[in-house]
Structure 1
Amino acid sequence: MIKIRIKYLLILIVVAGSFFYFTAYSSARPGQAAALQELLPQERKTVSLFESCAPSVVYITSIAVRQDLFSMNVFKVPQGTGSGFIWDKKGHVVTNFHVIQDAQAAEVTLADHSNWKASLVGVEVDKDLAVLKIDAPADKLQPVKVGSSASLRVGQSVYAIGNPFGFDHTLTTGIISGLGREITSVSNRPIQGVIQTDAAINPGNSGGPLLDSHGRLIGINTAIYSPSGAYAGIGFAVPVDTIKRLVPQIIRYGKARKPGLGIQIADDYITARLDIKGVLIVDVLKGSPAAKAGLKPTVQNVFGEIVLGDIIVALNGKPINNTNDLYRILDNLKVGDTVRLTVERDGRRRTVTITLMAV
């Protein structure tokens, strides 16, 4: 008899618990929907943008290989973290070069928290870009929607999604504070046309997407201006038009095909010490357009004296005072373009025509 009563008691407890669970669950769902409806239209738009774009953003861990001094065993340790975004269904992931710089390996974590080993496809150091590849199935990959940076306006809303300080899929908002800015890349070459934003960008945000109000990629978050190293209201993103031009080249060739003259040039501090205004040619590559145009490299004569080469002073009529001036002009040209190069030799100027080669 006691056993029967206990059995009925257990049944009543289970039924009551189930009733409470389904009642609570069913009442919570309408509450959540109601809470969403209570949001302002702009808030609902921001929530929708984040939920639709977050799956395109990844968490990147750069890994270093270390060896135990006693056991001599090799092990991997995290070296740094950053952000990136899915480029296509083939598993290509775009990030900043400095995120994976000096790493022996890298790991990509998707929005569903699955981890994938990444291989390096190629880099463009001068624009701080890198392309990785993971072997995740296509149904796990949501490529970012690619926009344009040509028609951006100061004051329009922007959204940054990344992993600052390791907090994955963090959304920050702001506006475009400025356009046409210039920052310096890892290779000390200028990156032009950079987007300035006040959306919070902190360590770990590097490589993540900067989006417009339609959730389209307009830039890759790359750098901040801050005396302390933390967010100070000034962040910079490399424009998407630069990304669209270079990433397909990196995927196809393993590097970007940049226009060049076929020369090696001296660093600015050397020309400054020599009191030279312009860009000094150190070497001319054999068979290059520069060699065909008769440009003269810097050489050492039979007496051991250094004989300076040609000094570039203008390109297409625009004055060249230093290497950055030369890079800025070349960045706006393409492989195969014909240019007029003005050089100074023995105090005299001459202009030659050169067809730019891929470097």
Structure 2
Amino acid sequence: MRTPRIVTARTSRRALVAAVVAAAALSATSSNAPADDLGELLPDERNTIEVFEKSAPSVVFVVNRGVHRDLFTWRTTEYLRGTGSGFVWDRQGHIVTNYHVIEGASQVSVVIDEQDYPARVLGAEPKRDIAVLAIDAAAAGRARPLRLRPVVLGDDRNLRVGQKVLAIGSPFGLDRTLTTGVISALGRDIVGVGRVTIPDMIQTDASINPGNSGGPLLDSRGRLIGMNTMIYSKTGSSAGIGFAVPVRFIRRIVPQIIETGRAVSAALGASYFDDDVVRRLGLNGVLIRRVYPDTGAAQAGLRGTRQSRRGRILLGDVIVGVEGQQVRSYDELYNALDRHQPGDVVTVHYLRDGRREKAKVRLSAL
């Protein structure tokens, strides 16, 4: 029996080409469909239709292009690396999507109402798989101002398993495709493309396929509660197990990227050895490589790894806990610190020469 795997939901070039004919047929069919009387439909159907019609204009199609240079002629050729989804953040042209959707792109564009607009990557936080784009309508030669409808932000703190959700995106290049389902589980901790755990992800059985990455997961009132990011599948297509990044991370990180071009994280003010190095040394925790001057870690007296005058390696402090939360790896340290803001004072537990000690550390901005 094959082991199911976690895969991101970005559409590959082959899948996109295979969907072109189907997309054209679907567009023609939907555009000619008569307007039904909503009063004849069930309340749940009316709700689904109303949420889609209100929210669909906020959802965009994101295209990731690369450039190939011929080693003999030095000519460059543009090619399609993949596609995904995104949603409008504000009327100034900021678009939110997954980092893995635009990762490695030479050029990025955003398709809105069948119009292609060039975009630039303002910044990203790979550890939460979030990226922010800025579209440039003027560069596309559009005379009319671009009318954007920002998504309505919700809250993921009071979600319940069984609650209705709607996913809108561009699976296999079929833009503004709607699927519905329920919240299947909450609090899923899954390692993302940034190689650290994204905590409290929302699990849903709403169909999510390649191309849905970066699209919104909405509640029954059309409010954003998460961003569709990955699926659990044997084949790479939907198996009814999809995951979304909670909106609280998006609320915090996106404004930071828009304002400064990067996400701001709370940090101790030190660098660390890779986890595999620590394990080979027979240690359990996070080994400090270096403590940066004029940081909270330096002021608290934490020590980095150093070399004695005789050339002997003296190991630094091994962090084993933050605010009572056990720390056994860099992943756990990052997520423990991510619960706090720069300027907060936290209690750090560490091992020094085999003795367990603790110190108060004021967090710096990373």
TM-score band, normalised by shorter chain: 0.7 to 0.9
Determine helix, strand or coil for the equivalent of 1:90.
Answer: coil
Q: What are the within-5 Å matches in structure 2 for residues 172-191 of structure 1?
A: 172-191=179-198
TM-score by length of 1: 0.87
Q: CA deviation at 1:40?
A: 2.3
**Contact 1:91-1:138 at 8 Å conserved across structures:** no
Q: CA deviation at 1:331?
A: 1.7
Q: Which has the higher contact order (CA 8 A, sep 6+)?
A: 2
Q: Runs of 5+ in structure 1 lacking a partner?
A: 1-30
- Alpha-carbon distance in structure 2 between the residues aligned to 1:172 and 1:241: 23
Bigger radius of gyration among the two: 1
- Choose between structure 1 and 2: higher helix proportion: 1
Determine helix, strand or coil for the equivalent of 1:314.
Answer: strand
**Contact 1:58-1:84 at 8 Å conserved across structures:** yes
Q: What are the within-5 Å matches in structure 2 for residues 258-273 of structure 1?
A: 258-273=265-280
- Alpha-carbon distance in structure 2 between the residues aligned to 1:297 and 1:33: 68
1:63 corresponds to = 65
Which deviations, in whole Å up to 9, do the C-alpha atoms of 1:258-308 show, x marking residues without a partner? 100011112221111111011111111122211122211112334433221
2:177 corresponds to = 170
- Alpha-carbon distance in structure 1 between the residues aligned to 2:267 and 2:203: 29
Q: What are the within-5 Å matches in structure 2 for residues 267-346 of structure 1?
A: 267-346=274-353
Q: CA deviation at 1:347?
A: 1.5
Counterpart residue identity of residue 322, structure 1: S
Aligned alpha-carbon RMSD (Å): 1.7
Q: CA deviation at 1:70?
A: 5.6
2:98 corresponds to = 96
Which deviations, in whole Å up to 9, do the C-alpha atoms of 1:124-156 show, x marking residues without a partner? 111000000012365521111111111111111
Determine helix, strand or coil for the equivalent of 1:334.
Answer: coil
Q: Runs of 5+ in structure 2 lacking a partner?
A: 1-32, 138-143
Percent identity over the alignment? 51
- Alpha-carbon distance in structure 2 between the residues aligned to 1:130 and 1:334: 20
2:116 corresponds to = 115
**Contact 1:63-1:79 at 8 Å conserved across structures:** yes
- Alpha-carbon distance in structure 1 between the residues aligned to 2:280 and 2:72: 50
Q: CA deviation at 1:34?
A: 5.1
Q: Provide runs of 4+ in structure 1 moved above 6 Å.
A: none
1:19 corresponds to = none
- Alpha-carbon distance in structure 1 between the residues aligned to 2:283 and 2:106: 41
- Alpha-carbon distance in structure 1 between the residues aligned to 2:65 and 2:246: 28
Q: CA deviation at 1:35?
A: 5.6
2:108 corresponds to = 106
Count of aligned pairs? 328
- Alpha-carbon distance in structure 1 between the residues aligned to 2:277 and 2:268: 20
TM-score by length of 2: 0.86
- Alpha-carbon distance in structure 2 between the residues aligned to 1:317 and 1:109: 47
Which deviations, in whole Å up to 9, do the C-alpha atoms of 1:147-199 show, x marking residues without a partner? 11111111110000001111111101000011111111222111112111111
Which deviations, in whole Å up to 9, do the C-alpha atoms of 1:299-319 show, x marking residues without a partner? 233443322111112212332
